[in-house]
Amino acid sequence: MSQLRSQPVDALSRAEAQQELEALAQELAAANAAYHRDDTPEISDADYDVLKRRNADIEARFPDLKREDSPSEKVGGPLAEGFSKITHEVRMLSLGNAFSAEDVTEFDARIRKYLGLAADAPLSYTAEPKIDGLSLSLRYEDGDLVYAATRGDGSIGENVTANARMIASVPQTLRDAPQVLEVRGEVYMSHADFEALNAAQAEKGGKTFANPRNAAAGSLRQLDANITKARPLAFFAYAWGAQSAALADTQMASIERLAELGFQTNPLTAICDGPADLIDHYAQIEEQRATLGYDIDGVVYKVNELDLQARLGFRSTTPRWAIAHKFAAELAWTRLDAIEIQVGRTGALSPVARLQPVTVGGVVVSNATLHNEDYIAGRDAKGGEIREGKDIRAGDWVQVYRAGDVIPKIADVDLTKRPDGAQVFEFPKTCPECGSDAVREAGDAVRRCMGGLICPAQAVEKLKHFVSRGAFDIEGLGAKQVEAFYHDDQLRIKEPADIFTLRERDAAQLTKLKNREGWGDKSAGNLFDAIDEKRKIPLNKIIFGLGLRHVGEAASNLLANTYLSWQAFEAAMIEAGAREGSAWEDLISIDGVGEVMAGSVVTAFAQEAERASIDRLIAQLDVQNMPERDTSGSPVAGKTVVFTGTLEQMTRAEAKARAEALGAKVSGSVSAKTDILVAGPGAGSKAKKAADLGVETMDEAGWLALIGA
C-alpha cells in the first residue's frame, strides 16, 4: 500500500480530495488487477477495504468529484486473457460494507425509510458468513450445467465452465429446477486443503499461495482444467442470477431450495428480526470464525422477503437490500512524537499526529488524523467528552486503530505513560503557512485560514486543482510541477492565468524554463504546446477548474449546462451576488445547486481580487460554449418531475430513485420549469399551482404506466 492518508476526509480541500480520488482510482485498479486477474494480491483485503472506504467517504463528501472511472462503480477487476468471455444476463454485484453496530442500525433504518416501514414494523433478514473466496455464476438450462462464469467486471466474466465441472460441490445436473437457473456463490479452499496444496507445491518447486482465497482463485482460473481437477475447491451457494421461475418467496426459503437441489449452503445462515438480532448473530459467527476451517471476513445481511428486495433494488454496483458487516479493526499502541498542522485548498487547518512507526493490521502507520481542535482537547462537536475527556499531547502514548477507513485514528491515551512536562496542545489561531487569522465559524468544527490567495498553501492547492484531471489536465503539468513552479522566483506561476503567459514570458527572456533542472528546449516547447492546447476549453471545465468551494465536477456541469456561455454565466453570477432577485432565484432553483453552493459561487465573483484573477484567466482562453441539451431518449429523460400527496405503491425515496434512474429530474416544488406533477391522494397547494401553470398532472398509476413499470 502506498502512503497512508493522514488527513481526515472532512478536512480535505477539494483539490486534495480530487487528487486523492485519482490516486485511489489508480491504486485500486492496480490492486484489482493483481487480485482478480493475476491472483497475486499486492495489498491485504483489509487494506483494500480501507482504500475503498476512504474512496467512498471522499465521494460522499464531494459527490461531484466522483470520477468516471470511480472504483466505487467497479466490481472486480480486468479480465485475464485466455478465457472466453461470458456476458452475465443479470449483473454480478458487490456489497456495501458495514463496520460497526451503528452502521447496521443505519442500514436497517435506511431500508425502513425507503420502504415506508415504521420502526417497529416486522422486517426480517438473513445473516450468513461472508465467505472469503471468489464468486462464481453457474448457469443451468433444463437442469444441465451449461456454463460457469467468474464475476469479472460484474457485467462480463470469464468462461471457466470446464474448471467448474471439476469442483465436487458443483452439481452437473439438477432435478426439478426451473428451466433456466443461474446459481451464484463462492468458490473457496478450506484451511486444511490450502496447507496441503502449499506443501505439495513447495515440494515440487511450484507456485505457493499467500492465502486460501488466492489459492482458490489461482486454481479455478487455470487454462488447463486438469490442474483445477487436482485442486481441492469447494462451492457455497448463496444467491442467484437469471431464473425462469422464482425458487421461493424469501431469501431463506430460496437457500433451502438450493440445498434441496444439491448445492452446499452455509449452515450458519439464520433468520434475524432486526439490527440487535443481526449483531448478536454476527458475534456468534465471529466467535466461531477460528474453528470453521475456511476463511470468512464478515457476515452478510439480506432482507428476507424477496418482493421487498425487488422494491429496494440496486444502487450502481450494490443492492440496497444487503450489506456485508466486516470483522473489526486492529489496534496498536505507540508514541506520538508531534502534532502538525496541514493547510488545505479551502484553508482548513488539519491536525496530524506524527507517530513512532507501528504496525497496525499489517500496515506500518506513522501518521494519524487528529480531526480538529476539539478532538485533540477530548471533546466532541457538542462539547461532550470523548476518551473520558483526556486530551492528546506530544509525547503521549496513544492507541492507534484502523477501522474501515484508510486514515489511522487515535482511539485512546494512556495517561500513566504521559511524560512529565508534556504540554497541552495549543491549536494555532493563525495560519502556519501565511500567518493570516485562522477563524472558526460558529457551527464549524474546522478552523480556516482567511488568507485566501495570499496564503501559499491555499494558492498551491488551488493551482494543483486547476491542472488536475477533471479540470485543465495539462500534459506535463501536474501537481508536482505547479508546486515547484509556484515557488520558482523566475517562473512565478502564482495563479492559473500565469500558466498561459509562460510561453510569452519565456520568449521575452523573463523566465527561463529550460534552465531549470530536467528541462531543455524540447521539453519546454512541448509544455508550451500542451498549455496552448488547453486554451480552447469547454465552459464546464473552467467552472470546475476555478476550484470554488462546494463546486465539484457535477455541479460545474449543471452550471455550465444552464448558462451555456461564459458571458452568460459571469453576468448571472455577478447579478446573483445580491442574493435576491431573479438571477439568484434562477441559480438556486437549479436542481442540485443549493444555497450554500450558490453562495460560494457568487462570493467568488463578488470578491475583487478573486474576480480579477478569474478575468485574467478568461482573457487567456477561448471558451467553448456548451451544446444545447438533447432531450430524446426515455419518456421522462430530462423532464422535471414533482411528486406530491400520498404515494401508495412506493415511498418518496423509491419514486425519486426510479425517476432519476430514467433520466428525470425530481424537484420538491412546482414552478414553470416543472414538466410533470404526479399527485397522489391529499395533494394540495402543489396540485393547484400546477393547474394554474398548466403543468401536466397525473396520478401514481398514470406515472407508472408512463414509465412502463
CB 50 to ligand IVH: min, Å: 14
Shortest distance in whole angstroms from residue 32 CB to ligand IVH? 13
- Nearer CB in complex with ligand IVH: 186/461: 186
Q: How far from 158 is each of 37, 170, 180, 226, 231, CA to CA, in Å?
A: 10, 17, 20, 17, 19
Cβ neighbour number for residue 233 with a 10 Å cutoff? 25
Window contacting ligand IVH (CB under 6 A); options: 90-98, 394-402, 429-437, 578-586: 90-98
Shortest distance, position 217 Cβ to ligand IVH, whole Å: 11
Nearer to ligand IVH, 304 or 557 (CB): 304
Q: What is the DSSP letter of 437?
A: B
Per-position x/- string for 133-152, each x denoting binding to ligand IVH as judged by CB under 6 A, each - no binding: --x-----------------
Span from 130-138, 362-370, 385-393, 412-420 in contact with ligand IVH (CB under 6 A): 130-138
Residue 192 DSSP SS3? helix
Residue 95 interacts with ligand IVH (CB under 6 A): yes or no: yes
Grid coordinates standing for 363? 500496515
Listed residue (368, 369, 386) closest to 377, CA to CA: 386
Give the separation between CA 474 and CA 486, rounded to whole angstroms. Answer: 16
319: contact with ligand IVH by CB under 6 A: yes
Phi, psi of 623 (to 5 degrees): -75, 130
Looking only at residues 170 through 209 of this chain, which bind ligand IVH when binding is defined by CB under 6 A?
A: 186
Q: How far is the CB of 223 from ligand IVH (least distance, A)?
A: 22
- Among 63-71, 93-101, 513-521, 668-676, which window interacts with ligand IVH (CB under 6 A)? 93-101
Joined grid coordinates for residue 388: 473520558
Q: If binding means CB under 6 A, how many residues of this protein chain bind ligand IVH?
A: 14
| By CB under 6 A, residue 300 contacts ligand IVH | yes
> Cell digits for 222?
487455470
Active-site annotation holds for 130: yes
Q: Of the listed 52, 130, 639, 665, which one is catalytic?
A: 130
- 45 or 473: CB nearest ligand IVH: 45
Chosen residue from 67, 88, 130, 686 binding ligand IVH by CB under 6 A: 130
Question: Residue 347's closest CA among 600, 545, 569, 570?
Answer: 600
Q: Does 94 help bind ligand IVH (rule: CB under 6 A)?
A: yes
Who's near 598: CB < 8 A, 6+ residues apart? 576, 584, 587, 588
Q: How far is the CB of 5 from ligand IVH (least distance, A)?
A: 22
- Residue 679, strand partner residues: 644
In the bound complex, what is the minimum distance in angstroms from residue 41's beta carbon to ligand IVH? Answer: 15
Query: Which residues in the 236-265 window bind ligand IVH by CB under 6 A?
Result: 238-239
Q: Does 31 bind ligand IVH (CB under 6 A)?
A: no
135 neighbors 185 (Cβ within 8 angstroms): yes
Among 12, 50, 131, 459, binds ligand IVH (CB under 6 A): 131
Query: Among positive and negative, which fits the CA dihedral 535, 537, 539, 545?
Result: negative
List the one residue from 233, 324, 398, 493 that touches ligand IVH (CB under 6 A). 324
Residue nearest to ligand IVH (CB): 135
Q: Does 322 bind ligand IVH (CB under 6 A)?
A: yes
Q: Which residues in 160-197 are b (16+ Cβ under 10 Å) and which e?
A: bbbbbebbeebbeebeebbebbbbbbbbbbbeebbeeb
The binder of ligand IVH chosen from 20, 27, 59, 128 (CB under 6 A): 128
Beta carbons within 10 angstroms of residue 382's beta carbon: 6
User: Do residues 698 and 679 touch, judged by C-beta distance below 8 A?
Assistant: yes
Q: In whole angstroms, how close is the CB of 53 to ligand IVH at the nearest point?
A: 12
Phi, then psi, of 124 in degrees rounded to 5? -105, 155
Catalytic residues: 130
Give the binding site for ligand IVH (CB under 6 A). Answer: 93-95, 128, 130-131, 135, 186, 238-239, 300, 319, 322, 324
